[in-house]
A and B are shown apart, each in its own frame.
Chain A
Amino acid sequence: MKNIKKKLMAILRENARLTSSQLAARLSISTEQVEQLLAELEASRAIYGYKTLINPEALGEEIVEAVIEVHVTPTRGEGFDGIAKRIYRFPEVRSLYLMSGGSDFLLFMEAQSLKEIAKFVTEKLATMDGVQETQTHFLLKKYKQDGVPLDGEDSVERLPVTP
């Protein structure tokens, strides 16, 4: 059962839009079983959302993304979790990770402009209690995200009939 759940998640991770009957075909189980498994996975938050990979630049839209290294002072009792929560509750923060190495947090955010990011960093983040230092890196170009190359892969045509 665990194995089939893992397979189901792996398939959905590649394509979350498949219907229950398509998933059933891929797993050699019934549609009802797929729905049951999905309900269980969602309830346990093994699956905690379905989102779409988007590239707004394809529509000519400019977006600015930044990765920010954040040094903080952990607090007694809460460690890093308290300050992490204060940071990630800002909706512009898309991802936040506690890291080993030079900085404590790695924060991913996106905005309409460089100015907006600067504003967030200088007004909200750097001035927050417990935040010691920030280093902001702007993304210049994305090559691959969530396992998908943004330029797409060259497709190679096979001969239609071979022995």
Chain B
Amino acid sequence: MSSENMQQGSSLTRKISRRVAELPPSGIRRFFELVLATEGVISLGVGEPDFVTPWNIREEAVFQLEKGRTSYTSNYGLKELRCELAAWLERRYSLQYDPDSEIVITVGGSEAIDIALRAILEPGDEVLIVEPCYVSYAPVVILAGGTPRYIATKQEEGFRLNIARLRESVTPRTKALIINYPNNPTGATFRYDDLESLCRFAGEHDLLILSDEIYAELTYEGVHVSLAALPEAKERTLLVSGFSKAFAMTGWRLGYLCGPAELIAAMVKIHQYTILCAPTISQYAAIEALRNGDADIEAMREEYRARRNFIVKSFNEMGLRTLMPEGAFYAFANIESTGMTSEEFCTRLLREQRVAVVPGTAFGPSGEGFIRASYASSFEKLERAVEGIARFVRK
């Protein structure tokens, strides 16, 4: 029986497309299994807020459910939500997007990235990805038929964009560039000057820029400058963002994509055939978030800021060189002083102190020598985790 099963298994495996079969498994996934198998772990491996969605937003969803708001919405998303979002983007980032044609509400920022890339890439097109970065960019580029090209950022450069390095990697096949700021995992953000030179570079090579600004509301130093706020950038920018991080709404799966109308129309074509529309009830909840969420955002940001100061100070005190992240909720600590690789550090830390952090290598080749510790965790947990890490590093 088993040989028959194996036979069947292997013949089924053969039915999997080569593109998917060859896709490397996520480095995070493997580590996740390891953490699950260990008991009593304090985890700083979590990439989502530790706050529950504010009650006024949850209550609005309950109210709308009671009213029976359970049908599909427009492919672009509820008109009311798009109008509210356009007003919000203008108020917070001085962005101007037409709610009728330049905004589509998606299933999280993830779907926005997917439909954006699928709509623009031809087989063999190259996409520059600034890393260390969120784990899904490269796989999604590959799934869309493109070829990812990693561009390193370095701690000694503050994980800022290095245009010279971008220039070295650009080819005639390069079609787009993916940036993410404030950055997961480094916490670095880009300033007006960075964006200006990036924009000039993109203009020279006629590149589209997919700008993932999902952590924009969690900016601790200065104000977030949205790429599309630069007049010369808007026509080549695809802005990806969402409600997950700003409003602690990860499980609602709600994001958005903004860009030039012609491009958005192409992306909505994919969205309408594969998704139809983002969850209706989440869209109603998001309207409430945009209308009455400012105070909650502020309170959460202040809490993250205090935790950030604590964890970064602690890491530096124990000899793990860590830059003060300007945004998001991750500390990206340099562990080279321990002589261990990222994998080794994380695996041993988990086994010996039952503290989980994520190896930097999960976020790209430049992540070697680093660990990502999320401070989206209660202060009590952060304190216990830091004690564990300090004991581990001392040994």
Contacts and interface: CB of A to CB of B under 8 A. Distances in A.
B296 to A, nearest CB: 15
Interface in B218-250: none
A163 B309 contact: no
Contacts of A163: 26, 28, 47, 134-136, 184, 362
A27 B379 CA distance: 11
Contacts of A161: 28, 31-32, 35, 43, 45-46, 356, 358
Interface stretch (A45-53, A70-78, A102-110, A152-160): A152-160
Interface residues of B, number: 27
Contacts of B45: 160-162
Contacts of A156: 52
A124 B306 CA distance: 50
A136 to B, nearest CB: 33
B189 to A, nearest CB: 19
A22 B386 CA distance: 13
B310 interface: yes
A119 interface: no
Contact of A162 (B36, B46, B313): B46
Nearest to B357: A161
A159 B33 CA distance: 11
Interface residues of A, number: 12
Interface string B290-316: 000000000000000010011001000
B309 A28 contact: yes
A151 B134 CA distance: 39
A26 interface: yes
A77 B43 CA distance: 63
Contacts of B135: 163
Nearest to B26: A163
A115 to B, nearest CB: 40
A150 interface: no
B32 A159 contact: yes
A12 interface: no
Contacts of B309: 28
A158 B374 CA distance: 13
A162 B28 contact: yes
A163 B46 CA distance: 7
A158 B52 CA distance: 10
A160 B355 CA distance: 11
Please report whether the interface of chain A is mostly helix, strand, loop or mixed according to DSSP. loop
A25 B309 CA distance: 8
Interface string A12-56: 000000000010011110000000000000000000000000000
A151 to B, nearest CB: 16
Contacts, number: 50
A22 B314 CA distance: 13
B134 A160 contact: no
Contacts of B47: 162-163
B336 interface: no
Contacts of B379: 22, 25-26
Contact of B306 (A28, A158, A160): A28
**Most chain B CB atoms below 10 A, which of A27, A159, A160, A161:** A161
Given A26-B310, A27-B306, A160 B383 contact: no
A130 to B, nearest CB: 43
B50 interface: yes
A119 B356 CA distance: 60
Contacts of A160: 32, 35-36, 41, 43, 45-46, 356
Nearest to A29: B309
Nearest to A154: B52
A25 B136 CA distance: 34
A31 to B, nearest CB: 13
B48 interface: yes
Contacts of B28: 161-163
A18 to B, nearest CB: 9
Interface string B1-43: 0000000000000000000000000101001100110000101
Nearest to A163: B135
A28 B311 CA distance: 10
B310 A158 contact: no
Contacts of B358: 161
Interface in B295-347: 306, 309-310, 313
B61 to A, nearest CB: 16
Contacts of A28: 306, 309-310, 313
Given A156-B52, A159-B32, A161-B31, A25 B46 contact: no
Given A160-B43, A160-B356, A162-B32, 4 more contacts: A28-B310, A28-B313, A161-B32, A162-B47
16 contacts: A25-B383, A27-B306, A28-B306, A28-B310, A160-B32, A160-B41, A160-B43, A160-B46, A161-B32, A161-B46, A161-B356, A162-B32, A162-B46, A163-B26, A163-B28, A163-B47
Interface of B: 26, 28, 31-32, 35-36, 41, 43, 45-48, 50, 52, 134-136, 184, 306, 309-310, 313, 356, 358, 362, 379, 383
